[in-house]
Amino acid sequence: MQPFELPDFYMPYPARLNPHVDQARAHTREWAAEMGFFETQQGHHIWDESDLERHDYGLLCAYTHPECDGPELDLITDWYVWVFYFDDHFLELYKRTQDSEGARDYLRRLQDFMPLTGTEMPEPTNPVERGLADLWPRTVPSMSLDWRRRFAVTTQALLEESRWELANITEGRIANPIEYIEMRRKVGGAPWSANLVEHAVRAEVPAELAATRPLCVLRDTFSDGVHLRNDIFSYEREVREEGENANCILVLERFLGLDTQPAAEVVNDLLTSRVQQFEYTAVTELPLLFAEFGVGPHEQADVARYAKGLQDWQAGGHEWHLRSSRYMNKGRKSTANPLLAMLAPSGLGMSALRISPSSLGLKRFNSFLHVPYAEVGPTPLPEIYMPFTLQLNTHLDTARENAVTWAQGMGMLGPVPDTELTLWSERDLREFDFALCSSGLDPDATESELDLATHWLTWGTYVDDYYPAVFFPTKNLLGAKLQGRRMLDFMPLDSAATPPAANPIETGLADLWARTTLPMDADQKLEFRTAVQSFISACEWEVLNHVLHRIPDPIDYVEMRRDTFGSDLTKALSRLSHGNLVPPQVYRTQTLKNLENTAADYAILLNDLFSYQKETQFEGDFHNGVSVIQNFLSCDRDRAVEIVNDLMTARLQQFERVVTHELPTLYEEYQLDESARRVLDRRAVELQDWMAAILNWHTGCGRYTESKLRERFHREPAQPAASDSGLALPFLRPTGLGTSAARVGGGLAQASRSAP
C-alpha cells in the first residue's frame, strides 16, 4: 500500500523528449562502468548495471534538457549519474554507518577535484572522485570564471551539506520548516542543476545580474519546485525504506500535526505556489530588471533562454518522476503528449493560456483576493518562548531625549514634503520608545553608541512607515524605485558631497552614514552600503506586491522579510565592530548563517504577531506572517497566530542548538584561536540580547495597542474603495514582457539619463 495518494499536480507546460536519448543512455552506461560505479565499495554494494537501467537517468536528462545536442546531452547525463551515485555512495558508506568523521574527510577531498583555473588534481581513490575528475575538465573550459565559481559553490554545497542530513539522522532530529527549505536547496542540488542549465542552453547569466533578486528568485523557486516534487514522489522510499528524515512531508507531519495525506497536499500546494512564483517573476520582475540595469538584447536573450531552460527542467523532471522505478508513481499517467507538445504555447508566461482543471480552483487565486483594511481587532497573543534575560543600558533616559531631538532635526516630526501626510508626532515618537529597544540590544554601549543605534532604529522604522504611506495609495512603483536610487547618493564610498535632501529619510540617511562610516575603510563601507541597499530594495518589493495586489507565499515572505526588517544591516554593523579576527570563510559557513537567520526569523515573526492589527486594519498591508499563513493554509487568524508562534519557537530552539552544538564543532573544524572564538561567542550573546530586547520593546511600547492606533490614524478603519476590493484580479490584465512593467522601467531609464 502506498502511504498516500499522489496529489493533483500543477504542471502547465508539457514535457518534451530530446531525440538523442538512446545515445545518452548507451554512452553513460559505458562511462559509469569505466568510472567503477558497479564495483563493490569497502564491502558495500552501491549499484550494478540493473540499477542504472531501472533508474534511467538518460531519460531524466533527455526530458529535462530537450533541446541540447547529442554530445551535450551525454555530458549532462554523466553529471546526473555521478550525482545520484554520490548520493547512494554517501548513504551506504557514511549515513547508514553514521561515520561523521569519515564523511568530513571524504567530502573535503572532493574540493580538490574542482580547480577554478588549471587542471591539476590529486589521484582519485574512489569512483566519486574518479567521476568528478573526469567531468570537471570536460565542462568548465567553455564557461567564464564567474560561472565556474558559482558552479563550484553549488557543487560543494550539494556535497558538503549532506553532513546536515547525517547529523539529523544521528540525532533523530527533524528540521523545522524554514530550516528545511533553506537546507534542502543545498542538499537537493537544484541550484547546481540550474547552473548546468546555463551550460546546456549555452547562455550564461550575466555576472552583474546573477545576484539580483529576480535571478535569485528564478533559481530558488526552480530549486524548491524540484525538491518539493521529489519529496512527494520519494517519501515512500526515503522515509519508509531508507530511514531518511529530510523530507518536507515528514517535516509538516511533525510540525503541523498532520496525517501523511493532508501533509502531502500542503507540500503540493507549496510546490504549486513556487512554480507560479517562478512564472510571476519571469513575466513581471525580469522586464523591470532589464530596464533598470540597461541590459542589452543579447544579454536579455541569454536570460530568457536560461529561464526557458529552467521551465523545461521542471516539466521534464515531473515526467521522469512519473516513469522512474526509483519513485512512488503508481496510478499517475504521463503528462507528455506529443500532439499537445507541438500545439501548446510554451514560452515564458504562457501557462495562463493552458490552465488545467486542477488549477481552476479558488486556491490558485487566493494570493490576489486580499481585502484591505479588514476589521480584525486586537490580536490574541500566545505565550511566547524567551529563555534569555533582558538587560538595559544605563543611558536609556538620555537616549530617549536625544532621539526626539534628532528626529525633529531630521524633519521626521513634521509634514512629509510634497504630500499632505504627517507620519509621526512627538507624542508618537515618545510612545514608540526606540531607545528602549536599543538599550536592550546593546546594554553595554556608551552614550554615543546607544544614540547612534537608536537613531538607526528610528530611521529604519520611519522608512518602514514612509513607503506604505507614500507609495501604496497611488501604487507608485516608479516613485519607490527612484527614491531607492536617490538613497545611493547619500551613501558615498568616497568623500563626495551628497545632494540636498528632499525628505526626512534622505536627511536622516546622510547624517547616519557620515557618523557611522567615518572609521571604516573602503571595503567596509561597501559592505555596509550593500546592507542598506538590501533593506531599501525589500521596501520596493513590498510596493510591487501592493501594485499587483499579491500576497507572497511563505517562502518568499520569510526570505524578503529578513531584508525589510533590516537583518543584513544589523549583521553588517555587528561584524564591522568585531574587526578582522574571524576568517572571512567562517562567516560564509552554514553555521554562522544559521546563527544569524534563526535570530532574525524569531524577531521578524514576533513583530508580525504584534503588528498584525496595525498593518491589516489600519494600513491595508498584507506583508505579515499571520496574513501569509492565513492565506496559504486557508485558516483563521487564531490558527495562523498559533502557527507563527510555533515557527518562532522552533527557530529560537534551533538558535540554541547552533550555540551549544554547531559553534563548538565549527571552532574545532576551522581550528580557530581563542580571540576568534571570543568574537563568535560574543556575537551569540549579542543575538540573545537582541531577541530579548525586541520582545521587551514590543510588550512595553505604544506602537501596536489598538487605542494608540486609533489616535494615531485619526479615524475608524477605512472602507476599501471598489477598485481596491481585491476582485479586480490584476493578474488577468496583460502582464507579459514589455507591457506595464516595461513602462515603469522606461521611466527609470529616462530618470537615469536626466540625473546629474
What counts of helices (H) and strands (E) characterise the chain? 33, 0
Report the amino acid identity of residue 151. F
648: cell is 518562532
Helices 177-188 and 190-201: angle between axes, nearest 10 degrees: 40
Contact by Cβ (8 Å): 683, 595: yes
Reduced to 3 states, what is the DSSP secondary structure of residue 636?
Answer: coil
pTM, to two decimals = 0.86
Got the DSSP string for 643-681?
HHHHHHHHHHHHHHHIIIIIHHHHHHHTT--HHHHHHHH
Dist CA 629 CA 252 (whole Å):
14
pLDDT at 587: 83
Comparing CA positions, the residue from 343, 321, 215, 222 lying closest to residue 274 is: 222
pLDDT at 352: 37
Contact by Cβ (8 Å): 341, 357: no
Got the DSSP string for 708-745?
HHHHHHTSSPPPPPGGGSS-S-GGGS--STTSHHHHHH
Q: Profile the chain (756 residues) by mean pLDDT over runs of 10 residues.
A: 91 92 97 95 90 92 97 98 92 85 88 91 95 97 94 85 80 94 87 96 94 94 95 92 89 96 96 93 93 94 97 95 85 50 42 38 62 91 97 97 98 94 95 96 93 95 95 93 95 91 97 93 90 93 92 93 81 63 83 94 96 94 95 95 98 97 92 92 93 96 93 63 33 30 38 34
pLDDT at 2: 86
pLDDT at 203: 95
pLDDT at 52: 93
